């Protein structure tokens, strides 16, 4: 068996949680391979809305195994709050959620360091969520991290050493802080974590594949936030691309099957960083309002703009996407004209590729007629208006990959599969 991978192709917030939930019935296992509680996956069904930060989005499908992989960074306090909220709503996590021993722990001092580093940058802030993600990955790379498996092996000594090292850094930054409440909640989270099954996830996943089980790998954030291939330095601290599933779960490249790439019918971004198609007018405000574009974790208003096909083609290339999934099509239902960026202008020269630096590039647009039809009640592609089908055909021609699934609303049921020819 091979694993299928699902990931975002833009700057995050593409709607990955909903799609994982929709696709999960076809799989035996859902495994999260990178990121941390800075990523919120929102799911809506049966009149309820859920936001998952660290727990895989397959958790709502009863008999599935859900794995938090080694590439994830985990905050025990936030995990405890998230898990208890899910259990209170009737979802039994302890029987079907497994946590990699090699996943790194976000310490209370990591969160303090995150805030201190951002404050020190002044106007050059990256716009982190303040969840301690960057400092945790920094410790991982510098071989100073504390991992989930350490909870079972000389934990107090390892935690004390990491804490002391962080406090020395904070002293040098002259940053004032109070660790009391953060640490109390964190230690309670550590005790709570002990109720779950800690696994060598690389052995577990490869064993499941050998047994013929099907696995869906769930990414967080989006390709354009990848630490190597995104709009650096305004990126996250992990590899959000397809290859991140190999390092974040311990699977070989030849085990990869389908790669599902998710994108919105327009584009959004949270926090600082270049955004070529960003709109600063009433159209941008309208997209934000209609799309409810506010961060599921931070609540921050998202910056909105037209779809960027230059960046999308780049993402498809580095990810090896085999099937596309378009989200929030309904947000554009009322627009008379829709624009799509097909090239950039750099110093007066038009280019059709994603360059080293996108700061200050000028988007080159084509205009397409809007469908001006309420699509939220549609059940099949046979109901799609002619203009919407033309938009899909245009995207497929530009991107070279079929759009197999279209979302026409936030609910699980507002998802339409297309039976296009490969």
C-alpha distances (whole Å) from 7 to each of 1, 123, 251 are 20, 31, 16
Q: Is 282 a catalytic residue?
A: no
Catalytic residue among 4, 28, 41, 75: 41
Ligand-binding site membership of 71 (annotated):
no
Is-contact 323 260, C-beta < 8 A? yes
Radius of gyration of the CA atoms of the chain, in A:
21
Identify the active-site residue in 64, 131, 140, 339: 140
Q: Left, alpha or beta for 313 (phi > 0: left; psi -120 to 50: alpha)?
A: alpha
Helical (H) or strand (E) element with 67: strand 65-68
Q: Is 393 annotated as a binding residue?
A: no
Determine whether the annotation assigns residue 328 to a binding site.
yes
| CA-closest candidate to residue 15, choices 227, 268, 332, 287 | 268
Handedness of CA 109, 114, 118, 120 (dihedral sign): positive
Consult the annotation and say whether 255 binds a ligand. no
The answer on whether 41 is annotated among ligand-binding residues is: yes
The annotation status of 300 as a binding-site residue, yes or no, is yes
Whether the Cβ atoms of residue 242 and residue 8 lie closer than 8 Å to each other: no
- Residue 247 assigned as binding residue: no
> Was 100 annotated as part of a binding site?
no
Q: Which of 4, 13, 28, 75 is catalytic?
A: 13
**238: annotated binding-site residue?**
no
Would you say 42 is a known binding-site residue? Answer: yes
40 annotated ligand binder: yes
Strands (E), 270-422: 303-305, 307-308, 323-327, 337-346, 349-351, 362-369, 403-407, 415-417
Burial class (CB in 10 A: 0-12, 13-18, 19+), 207: exposed
Is 15 annotated in a binding site? The answer is: yes
In the annotation, is 140 catalytic? yes
154 carries an active-site annotation: no
- Does 14 appear as a known binding residue? yes
Q: DSSP for 123-160?
A: GG-----SSSHHHHHHHHHTT---BGGGGGSSHHHHHH
**Alpha-carbon span 63 to 50, nearest angstrom:** 19
Known binding residue 296? Answer is: yes
Binding residues for GTP: 12-18, 40-42, 302, 328-330, 407-409
Residues taking part in catalysis: 13, 41, 140
Binding residues for IMP: 13-16, 38-41, 129, 143, 221, 236, 300
Q: Which residue ranges are tagged as binding site for Mg(2+)? A: 13, 40
Feature table: binding site: 12-18, 38-42, 129, 143, 221, 236, 296-302, 328-330, 407-409
Binding site listing for substrate: 296-302
């Amino acid at each position: 068996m091979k694993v299928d991978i699902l990931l975002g192709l833009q700057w995050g917030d593409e709607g990955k949680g909903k799609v994982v939930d929709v696709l999960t019935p076809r799989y035996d296992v859902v495994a999260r391979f990178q990121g941390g509680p800075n990523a919120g996956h929102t799911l809506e069904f049966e009149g309820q809305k859920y936001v998952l930060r660290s727990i895989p989005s397959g958790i709502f499908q009863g008999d599935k195994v859900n794995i938090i992989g080694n590439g994830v960074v985990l905050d025990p306090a936030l995990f405890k709050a998230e898990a208890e909220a899910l259990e209170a709503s009737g979802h039994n996590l302890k029987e079907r959620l497994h946590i990699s021993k090699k996943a790194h722990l976000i310490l209370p001092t990591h969160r303090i360091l995150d805030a201190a580093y951002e404050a020190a940058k002044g106007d050059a802030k990256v716009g982190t969520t303040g969840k301690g993600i960057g400092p945790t990955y920094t410790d991982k790379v510098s071989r100073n991290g504390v991992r989930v498996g350490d909870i079972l092996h000389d934990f107090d000594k390892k935690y004390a050493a990491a804490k002391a090292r962080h406090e020395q850094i904070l002293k040098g930054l002259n940053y004032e802080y109070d660790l009391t409440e953060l640490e109390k909640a964190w230690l309670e989270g550590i005790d709570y974590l002990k109720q779950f099954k800690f696994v060598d996830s690389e052995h577990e996943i490869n064993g499941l594949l050998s047994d013929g089980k099907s696995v869906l790998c769930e990414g967080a954030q989006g390709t354009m936030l990848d630490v190597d291939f995104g709009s650096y330095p305004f990126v996250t601290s992990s590899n959000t691309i397809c290859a991140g599933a190999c390092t974040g779960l311990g699977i070989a490249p030849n085990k990869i099957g389908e790669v599902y790439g998710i994108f919105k019918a327009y584009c959004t971004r949270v926090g600082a960083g270049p955004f070529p198609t960003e709109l600063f007018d009433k159209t941008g405000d309208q997209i934000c309002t209609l799309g409810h574009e506010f961060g599921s974790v931070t609540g921050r208003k998202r910056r909105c703009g037209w779809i960027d096909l230059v960046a999308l083609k780049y993402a498809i290339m580095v990810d090896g996407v085999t099937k596309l999934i378009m989200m929030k099509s309904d947000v554009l239902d009322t627009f008379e004209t829709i624009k799509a960026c097909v090239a950039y202008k750099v110093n007066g020269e038009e280019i059709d590729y994603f360059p080293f630096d996108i700061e200050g590039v000028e988007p080159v647009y084509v205009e397409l007629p809007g469908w001006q039809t309420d699509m939220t009640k549609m059940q099949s592609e046979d109901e799609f208006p002619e203009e919407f089908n033309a938009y899909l055909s245009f995207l497929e021609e530009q991107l070279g990959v079929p759009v197999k699934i279209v979302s026409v609303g936030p609910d699980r049921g507002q998802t339409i599969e297309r039976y296009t020819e490969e």
